[in-house]
Structure 1
């Protein structure tokens, strides 16, 4: 059975896990400060994670802002040079936004039945700027140092 929000917002499966739909893609273009390629100035998606599903560790080459819209709080992990931290967005006592700095790996899960969030990337998102953890040494470090996070790899 499909979650009602998947139908309501016309969401599709995302390669990292969860469901998404791009709701804004700027017509203005800019050059990436990372590689010089042309990108939209800004993009924004709806992103839905359901209970028991995860957004696998991945990175985007540009800054990304996560905003909580509805549902349970979202647990968001960031990883940079073997430094791992966790934030929760949404719900009582938590912020409603979190910034993932350009190039940091990120992973997430809902802390309840579902979490609906928005993700904004500038310069805009392009799958050419997206990657999963591929380095065997980093996967091994996560397995040893944080075995509880294996489901996010």
Structure 2
């Protein structure tokens, strides 16, 4: 597989990225001024948010879920695998990458609200810069990291992958 090397340290500095609780580095780049209210709820929130997200140095995005749909966009570097577990335990892996160079990659992928997901560079030595757009907008109050052991118990058929991409140190 052809690698597209990026300078992770330079990107972290240039883009003003900070460590993310799930692993990797991020910076929010957009928060809509318009607000929406979910059906059957009274609290309003930004209609949409967007971030830069960088995985490098063997880090991964640990299993987590949010209450909104999230669209992942590939920008630069090596392909990244976004693993998604739906409520029925079906596993889908989206490989984000430069689809013009890597035939098995796509430029965008969607994780539906409430699905558990984790991400890693396809090549553990790689680095990948992606973007994530969330609608309705992301709020840390709706961010849930998987409790250790909980997903392995619920989805034993995916135990190895779940354990490998558990919490970050």
Give the alignment's TM-score, normalised by structure 2: 0.82
Matched, 1:132 2:117: no
> Where in structure 2 are the equivalents of 1:21-60 lying within 5 Å?
21-33=27-39, 35-60=41-66
For residue 113 of structure 2, give the secondary structure of its aligned residue in structure 1: coil
| Structure 1 counterpart of 2:115 | 104
| Structure 2 counterpart of 1:85 | 92
- CA-based RMSD: 1.9
**Which residue of 123, 142, 146 corresponds with 2:159?**
146
For residue 74 of structure 2, give the secondary structure of its aligned residue in structure 1: strand
For residue 3 of structure 1, give the secondary structure of its aligned residue in structure 2: helix
Deviations along 1:18-37, one digit per CA (max 9) or x if unpaired, are 00000000111111347442
For residue 146 of structure 1, give the secondary structure of its aligned residue in structure 2: helix
Tell me if structure 2 keeps the 8 A contact 1:34–1:61.
no
For residue 134 of structure 2, give the secondary structure of its aligned residue in structure 1: strand
TM-aligned CA deviation for residue 52 of structure 1: 1.2
Rounded to whole Å, the distance in 2 between the matches of 1:71 and 1:99 is: 20
Deviations along 1:79-115, one digit per CA (max 9) or x if unpaired, are 1121111110113111100000111111001124200
Unaligned ranges ≥5, structure 2: 1-7
Q: Identify, as 1 or 2, the structure richer in strand.
A: 1
Structure 1 runs (4+) greater than 6 angstroms displaced: none
Name the count of aligned residue pairs. Answer: 152
Unaligned ranges ≥5, structure 1: none
Deviations along 1:39-80, one digit per CA (max 9) or x if unpaired, are 101100000000411000100100000000000011010011
Give the alignment's TM-score, normalised by structure 1: 0.90
Rounded to whole Å, the distance in 1 between the matches of 2:135 and 2:72 is: 12
